[in-house]
A = this chain, B = another copy of it.
């Protein structure tokens, strides 16, 4: 099985200057809290080891997320692009924008998509001037993406902003209702609002859920698992949040979850491939098989 890991930050470029790498002990503490041993690739900041770990875990693609942030540290689109250029489709890029200048943001989006980025990353609460997900300033940007069929990642879970209000699913729900054709990936799965975001996902077919590191044994996580094997099997996404979780360890653990194989494959490949419009190797294989029979 081939896997798409929907949140993976390699030990390279601007990532090395962010807390996830330059505060390694804090990160490893988190990793152990959610039940994993830290990845040596994370600890030794080795691209070579990461690529090997991805191979061992059958991770064909990792979604690499640019970020324009205050406290969390920024990663420029240029950095993400150079990873895309150096490693090819191994890394799929999500471009960040500056929401305080809508014209420039829209230009950034158009240029990024033209350059091969796959989607746009919007982190309302993490901007230097934090916003809620339904902030008016983001609406022209959502409209632009909806009209062009560009999916977005919306970071509205975990430490999404200065306080817990920035992950409130009420604001996310409004965005989904106001832009019904905009495909939205809720990064960090809107944790800790687990039941609430699952209601929103149940109601809004344009929401994809990526609980990533909070999928793993944090309060309420069992409901994510049940939804993954139930009504949300077509819109749940798999993401290790590396370096917070190890690429290989996360996979090994994920496969122990009570999720039926057909749903697991959708979560680990099919849903993301469809969302990002990637060719589906499984259907290609089936086509070959069909021709042969």
The residues of A with any CB-CB pair to B shorter than 8 Å are: 33, 158-159, 162-165, 168-170, 173-174, 177, 191-196, 198-200, 202-203, 217-220, 223, 226-227, 230-231
Contacts and interface: CB of A to CB of B under 8 A. Distances in A.
A142 to B, nearest CB: 15
Contacts of A202: 33, 218
A199 B191 contact: yes
A198 B198 CA distance: 18
Nearest to A162: B177
A232 to B, nearest CB: 10
Number of chain copies forming the complex: 3
A271 B55 CA distance: 44
Interface centre among A195, A200, A219 (most CB of B within 10 A): A219
A203 B168 CA distance: 16
B164 A170 contact: yes
A33 B230 contact: yes
A158 B177 CA distance: 15
Contact of A194 (B33, B195, B217): B195
Given A163-B173, A194-B195, A200-B164, A223 B230 contact: no
26 contacts: A33-B202, A158-B199, A162-B177, A163-B170, A163-B173, A163-B174, A164-B169, A164-B196, A164-B199, A164-B200, A165-B170, A165-B173, A191-B195, A192-B195, A192-B196, A193-B195, A193-B196, A194-B195, A195-B219, A198-B218, A198-B219, A199-B219, A202-B218, A219-B223, A219-B226, A220-B223
